[in-house]
Chain A
Amino acid sequence: MEIFSDLFFGLSVATSSPMLLATLLGVLLGLAIGVLPAMGPPAALAILLPIVVSFEPTVAVAGLAGVYYGAMYGGAVTSILLGIPGESAAMMTTLDGYPMAKNGEAGRALGIATFASFVGGFISILLFTAIAAPFAEFALRFGPIEMTALMVMTLIFSTSLGGEDRAKGFAALGLGLWLGTVGLDIVSGSPRFNFGTFELLEGIEFTVIAIGMYGVGEILASVNETAPKVARARYTLRALLPRISDMYKTWKDLIVGSVIGFVVGVLPGAGATAATIFSYSFSKKISRHPENFGKGAPEGIASPESANNSASYAAMIPLFTLGIPGSGTTAIMLGGLLMLGLQPGPLLFEQNPDFIWPVIGTFYTGNLMLVVLTILLTPILASLVFIPAAYLFPIVLGIVVYGVFSVNYSFFDLGMAMGFGLLGYLFRKFSYPSVPVLLGLVLGPILEQNVRRSLIMSNGDIGIFASSTISVVFLLLSASLLLLPMFKWAKARLKKAGV
């Protein structure tokens, strides 16, 4: 029953004034970010990093996490009212939310989305609370061999599942892994790829790359975007309140969405968007009236909305318990944790309970805040999408300039951030995913350390990675994911040849 006392402690800290304020600011910003189509949670978190690192770690992480899960709530607002998903994870909500709004039921659709988001979030937080600590305890058995295999699996899963073109994904991953090697070599201490400059001896600052690739890259790629020219659906504030009849009608879909969202969210690379697609398809399959899906079915909103919120909390389990991020957003959060002097991983629960339990506590308070805020702020949130890029982007670029400079008080870093911004822009234009770059950058140095440590232990014998059952399982899973397309290709060729 230690878990209850830990949780009680976490909730008591999470309800203190600074923590409530940090959570409130985080979720407010998250709601706004979720609405704006040109800016996603990774970009927002990257831009915020230099500012929040000056705060106390628990307060900083409460705010950052608030932005992440707040964005999942906000995405539904524009999906339903305008038919424009603010976030990719809100894409499936558009299918039934917008038709409902066009039928004059915008308020009801928003009410269902808010309630589903709350339920999905709540179930996921409960599972997080129950699973995270035992999971971390199990992970304590992992040595350098298991950690190497786990990181290899995470990188392969994230890269293979996270984008359309695997070749481009792996090229991006290679770039991230290389960026992680810039600076002094961890074993020999000799400089690598510093090109004779003093500034690169300590490596490239994580924030510089994250802000460049995500913050600046996203702005540059959206310079031609204009405010949507669509009619906004009408609703009353009273209609936003969730109805008992809708709760009863959608209870099965809420559970389906929450569970699928949690399972998919824990997996590296799959993410909240995949969770919503699986959940929507499953709900349609088990529905008595699948023909109503896509035409304004309440179940079509409840299922994906509960899934995306559930997935956003679940994605933080591997981050906090293993120190392994599975997405771009959690990679940036990991970068933030490292900047705050915290080492996420199995020992975090043992060595920093005064950090982790209050953060979990803020998930509960944040989830509650979001219900109230979404209902109250929906009219304002729906207006945000009409802010012209010409007003918004210069302000964001200004924040980027000040944010990057404030990390090391260096104009060199600022130049680097703009360079990475240009690279991020080209990546978007040529359909190269940015997430593997960040994952490679964050996990690369730890992976290199573990690989080299293992090889030193075995006198260079790579057979050491097959000496542990856990490691073998992880490596076999990775290999199967890598080889699956080849098997499919060979099967198709054989079928074509009539064999």
Chain B
Amino acid sequence: MRVLTAEKLFTSLFAAFAVFLLWRSYDYGILSSTITGPGFFPAIAGTLILVSTGTSLFSKVKGGESKILDEDSAGNADGPGTRVEVSRVAVLIGVTALFIVLAPYVGMIALTPFYVFACFLALAPDFRLARLGVGGGTAITFTLLAWAIFDKALGVPMPRGFF
């Protein structure tokens, strides 16, 4: 996907969000006689976003598609369009989401080495034994440190799950 197309889409969504803010602000009440209502400040924020994103979109449309950033010969731009990057980001987000869902049941400390190791694999999918060993060692060392600092030293009440 070309950067500017994705950027325009993002900016348009941002503008749509501003319209939503203005609608909700109106609902909350912007002014009642001379007293400002709860919607007064969100309306200012919404207007600021709408005007700014509108200006940004206008300049992009006016400027055309001439400023494609760092596009390589294969047509891949240096934006979130690069497949490897998007897949790594998606895996990291997905793994963290899984951690959030499972941690109350499995236990935070018990799940941490798997989480750190999964992040390691997402960033460097290299399955040579030595690399896996280093990744595993990093995961276990971090878990022990996290347990010592957050559980023992700071006394954070972490979910223990089944353990």
Q: Which residues of A contact B (CB under 8 A)?
A: 51, 54, 165, 167-171, 173-175, 177-178, 181, 185, 187-188, 190, 192-193, 219-220, 223-224, 388-391, 393-395, 397-399, 401-402, 405-406, 409, 411, 414-415, 418, 421-422, 425-426, 429-431, 440, 444, 448, 451-452, 455-456, 459-461
Using known A-B contacts A406-B150, A422-B93, determine if residue A167 contacts B52 with beta carbons closer than 8 Å.
Answer: yes
Closest 3 CB pairs of A and B: A460-B34, A390-B124, A174-B48
Contact of B74 with A by CB under 8 A:
no
Contact of B108 among A177, A405, A444, A461 (CB under 8 A): A405
Question: Is the beta-carbon distance between B49 and A178 smaller than 8 angstroms?
Answer: yes
Q: Please give the distance in Å from B128's CB to the nearest CB on chain A.
A: 13
Known: A411-B103, A460-B33. A429 touches B38 (CB 8 A): no
Query: Which of B45, B56, B99, B134 contacts A168, CB < 8 Å?
Result: B56
Report chain B residues within 8 Å CB of A426: 10, 80
Question: What residues of B have a CB within 8 angstroms of the CB of A448 in the complex?
Answer: 40-41
Q: A192-B42, A398-B116 are in contact. List 8 more A-B contacts (CB 8 A).
A: A54-B154, A167-B53, A174-B46, A223-B88, A391-B135, A394-B117, A398-B115, A421-B93
In the bound complex, how far is the Cα of B89 from the Cα of A171, in angstroms? 24
How far, in angstroms, from A169 to B103 measured CA to CA in the complex? 37
B85 at the interface (CB under 8 A from A): yes
**B7 within 8 A of partner (CB):** yes
Contacts of B130 in A (CB 8 A): none
Chain A neighbourhood of B49, CB < 8 A: 171, 174-175, 178
Task: Kindly state the interface size class of chain B when it binds its partner.
Answer: 35 or more
Chain B CB within 10 Å, residue with most, of A220, A425, A430: A430
- Judged by DSSP, the binding face of A is helix
Residue from A167, A173, A397, A421 in contact with B59 in the complex, judged by beta carbons closer than 8 Å: A167
A406 to B151, CA, bound (A): 10
Q: Which residue of B lies closest to A155 (CB)?
A: B48
Q: Which residues of B contact A451 (CB under 8 A)?
A: 36, 41
A51 to B62 alpha-carbon distance, docked (Å): 48
Contact B84 A224 (CB under 8 A): yes
B156 touches A406 (CB 8 A): yes
Q: Which residues of A contact B46 (CB under 8 A)?
A: 174, 178
Does B64 count as interface, using CB distance less than 8 angstroms?
no
Q: Tell me the complex Cα distance, A174–B43, Å.
A: 10
Which residue on B lies nearest to A406, using beta carbons? B156
The residues of A that contact B56 with a CB separation of less than 8 Å are 165, 167-168, 171
Q: Is the CB of B92 within 8 A of A397?
A: yes
CA distance A28 to B24 in the complex (A): 47
Contact of A174 among B35, B45, B112, B117 (CB under 8 A): B45
Cα A162 to Cα B75 in complex, Å, equals: 31
Q: Please tell me if the beta carbons of A430 and B116 are within 8 angstroms of each other in the complex.
A: no
Provide the bound-state CA to CA distance between A268 and B11, in Å: 27
* Assembly CA distance A35 to B124 (angstroms): 22
Q: Residue-by-residue, is B92-119 near A (CB-CB < 8 Å gives 1, otherwise 0)?
A: 1100110110011000100010011101
Q: Are A390 and B120 in contact (CB under 8 A)?
A: yes
